[in-house]
Chain A
Amino acid sequence: MNFNYVILIPLIPLAVFLLLGIFYKKIKPAVSGYIGVFGLLTSTVLSYYTAFQYFFVQEKVDGVYQTFVSKTTWMNFTDTLAIDMGILIDPISVMMLIVVSTISLMVHIYSRGYMKGDEGYTKFFAFLGLFSFSMFGLVLATNLFQIYIFWELVGVSSFLLIGYYYTKPSAVAASKKAFIVTRFADLGFLIGILIVGYYTGTYDFETLNNPEGNAILSWASTSFMGLSVLTWALILIFIGGAGKSAMFPLHIWLPDAMEGPTPVSALIHAATMVVAGVYLVARLFPMYYFVEDGFALNVVAYVGGFSSLFAAIIAVTQNDIKRVLAFSTMSQLGYMMMALGVSGYDGHEGVGYMASMFHLFTHAMFKALLFLGAGSVIHAVHSNYLKDMGGLRKYMPITNITFLIAALAISGVPPFAGFWSKDEILVAAFEHNKLLYFVGLFVAGLTAFYMFRIYFGIFWGKDTQYKHAPHESPIAMTFPLMFLGALSVVVGLIPFSEFVTADKAGFVAHLNYPLAAIAVGVGVVGIILSYIFYKKENDLAEKFSKAFGVFYKWTFNKFYFDEIYLFVTRKIIFNRISAPIAYFDKKYVDGFMEGMGNKTVVVSEKIKGIQSGKFQDYAFAFLAGFVILAMVFIYLWTK
């Protein structure tokens, strides 16, 4: 089967980006919107066609989905170590193509309504094109270096889009924060890549991931400080992934990234870019699993589980609806990481891996829907804060219903999408790690609670008197809501385990009824609690927050993590380390160099009178020299 046409999927958005970016002053906004949407539509159709071909038309060999690689050498380091560029088609990359193209297309359509009348309309679509190109390139990467290149490209596009409202200081600060924090994490990623390259001599996923391959069997035994070098490399690579996926403690950039336009939050900071970290771990899953009995994988599991709990607790107290969604995203990403961490490899053992990918898939749909719904609400009331909302169900029926569907999906209520994937995650956690199972269960309850807290806060609750009556958004915005709403209902029914598994063979998953019942029960308890608290305006919630006292205050301030980071960077690193170094540099290094320059100037000032430009002076100098030489020679000769 020939999959070479897949290269067009990333290249079309790149062409759109170049076209809109170069001619952005000449193209009319109406036209540029259509160009962006049409480009993405082409990529989406190609992605669906690829998925159809891959999963249904071509035959499995020995019951395993084959991996297709088409690549060309890009940079030759040594005879044995080269960097390739190419495309890699396997179950997870095909699944990611579907996710990225669907969400990106919906966001393109939505942006035509949301960004209408904005000054940088064309620029916005150009950036979206750049982001789509980078993300497609990332999921199709054939080796660690290629993924790293596109990894940085999505970072840049994210930076550009967070800072899209560049006249707002908070947006500029947020974009810098996002870029610096993720760059800092990527340093770990880069070192990890270099270690892998140094020891195994290859960057190719296929070679690295081969369970019988050199990388896993022989190099894993080279040890360094008590762990194998590859374990160190994998932990470092996971740091890069944790930075992108906003895992604790590198999560601080994600809530601030909500300064960007809401469609961007939906596309980048909910559905696609932030799952890059999960995707990276999944991509290297055989290495994580086999090297040293999965020590690095345990790190992934606990970091994921902790982040998930941590973020869910914070989300309960936040009042900015986009920030609640941001922490919810972080929590769900922690869920996915945790699921990967507790996964096995073969057959049904690999349920965690499957569940993680499944949750990534369903989460992308309903979280994008939540963000787009939130965008629709913000568009209508011009505020991000819950206090400015309430009773909107009367004004915005479509947004209300789609938001409710998404909230039910994320809370894990059957038959919506989130139920199926969350259930699989809890099954995997239950089978391998009871502690993480209970963390997951508690988070599931919290998720339902905070999600319905904002749902009731926006659409029910108090009857706010609006100055301008809010109205339903235009069709360009409601169509993506309805489409994603429909997807959020049905995608859970896809028999995902038959397509995407760790060993690529597929298995038949069965619903574990007791566990599913417990999870649904916990979710429903969360929903009922928030119904009591927030359905009607009352002071119950306030009383409870008073009862929690200090804990509430800590949570509300996100456990002061921003402040801790600021303290460490400003007070300790800047003052204690950077300032003395800067002083030394200014005073001595610069001083020495500038002193040399100044002295040269002084000397030349003094002697420049000699070069008068008058030929008589030169004639005199010539004569004087001649006379002196003549005298010297005469003296020497007559001695």
Chain B
Amino acid sequence: MIAGISIYEILTVTSILFFIGVYGFITRTNLISILMSVELILNASIINFVVINKYLYPDVFQGVFFSIFIIAVAAAETALAVAIIINLYRQISSVEVKDTEIMKY
């Protein structure tokens, strides 16, 4: 509970955060930026978990635990994604999405 701030305001902030992530995901042309956008989406949902847990069910901790779980998974996923990007960079000397079309074939 944060005094003076209602759940609506926080949810508004996370929604904005989420859609910034989605927008970035769709419009960025750089793989690193896309990865960062995905992180934004994930963070928005983590905040939602925590906030809903805190405001609506203060006597349980599942939301908090779940957010820690997501952070761990996100870290692993980011590491994997960065590894792929680095390998790709070694092959084509670029991290631009349009250059990765070669992977279609």
| Residues of A that sit less than 8 Å from B by CB | 613-614, 616, 619-620, 623
Residue of A nearest to B101 (CB): A613
When chains A and B are docked, how far (Å) is the Cα of A67 from the Cα of B22?
95
| Residues of B that sit less than 8 Å from A by CB | 22, 25-27, 34, 97, 101, 104
Residue of A nearest to B27 (CB): A616
Q: Which residues of A contact B104 (CB under 8 A)?
A: 613
Q: Which residues of A contact B34 (CB under 8 A)?
A: 616
A613-B101, A613-B104, A616-B27 given; 8 more Cβ-contact pairs under 8 Å: A614-B97, A616-B25, A616-B34, A616-B97, A619-B25, A619-B26, A623-B22, A623-B26
Q: Summarize A's interface: helix, strand, loop or mixed.
A: helix
Q: Tell me the total A-B contact number using a CB cutoff of 8 A.
A: 14
Quote the shortest CB–CB distance from A528 to chain B (angstroms).
Answer: 93
Q: Which residues of B contact A616 (CB under 8 A)?
A: 25-27, 34, 97
Residue of A nearest to B28 (CB): A616
Complex A-B: 12 CB contacts under 8 Å: A613-B101, A613-B104, A614-B97, A614-B101, A616-B25, A616-B27, A616-B34, A616-B97, A619-B25, A619-B26, A620-B26, A623-B22
Q: Which residues of B contact A613 (CB under 8 A)?
A: 101, 104
Quote the shortest CB–CB distance from B41 to chain A (angstroms).
Answer: 11
Q: Which residues of B contact A614 (CB under 8 A)?
A: 97, 101
Q: Which residues of A contact B101 (CB under 8 A)?
A: 613-614
Quote the shortest CB–CB distance from B97 to chain A (angstroms).
Answer: 7
When chains A and B are docked, how far (Å) is the Cα of A613 from the Cα of B102?
11
Residue of B nearest to A618 (CB): B26
Residue of A nearest to B19 (CB): A623
When chains A and B are docked, how far (Å) is the Cα of A619 from the Cα of B28?
12
When chains A and B are docked, how far (Å) is the Cα of A325 from the Cα of B14?
107
Quote the shortest CB–CB distance from A623 to chain B (angstroms).
Answer: 6
When chains A and B are docked, how far (Å) is the Cα of A540 from the Cα of B104?
93
Residue of A nearest to B98 (CB): A614
Residue of B nearest to A619 (CB): B26
When chains A and B are docked, how far (Å) is the Cα of A619 from the Cα of B26?
7
When chains A and B are docked, how far (Å) is the Cα of A616 from the Cα of B24?
10
Q: Which residues of A contact B97 (CB under 8 A)?
A: 614, 616
When chains A and B are docked, how far (Å) is the Cα of A620 from the Cα of B27?
9
Residue of B nearest to A623 (CB): B22
When chains A and B are docked, how far (Å) is the Cα of A493 from the Cα of B25?
108
Interface hub of B22, B26, B97 (most chain A Cβ within 10 A)? B26
Q: Which residues of B contact A620 (CB under 8 A)?
A: 26
Q: Which residues of B contact A623 (CB under 8 A)?
A: 22, 26
Quote the shortest CB–CB distance from A275 to chain B (angstroms).
Answer: 70
Quote the shortest CB–CB distance from B100 to chain A (angstroms).
Answer: 9
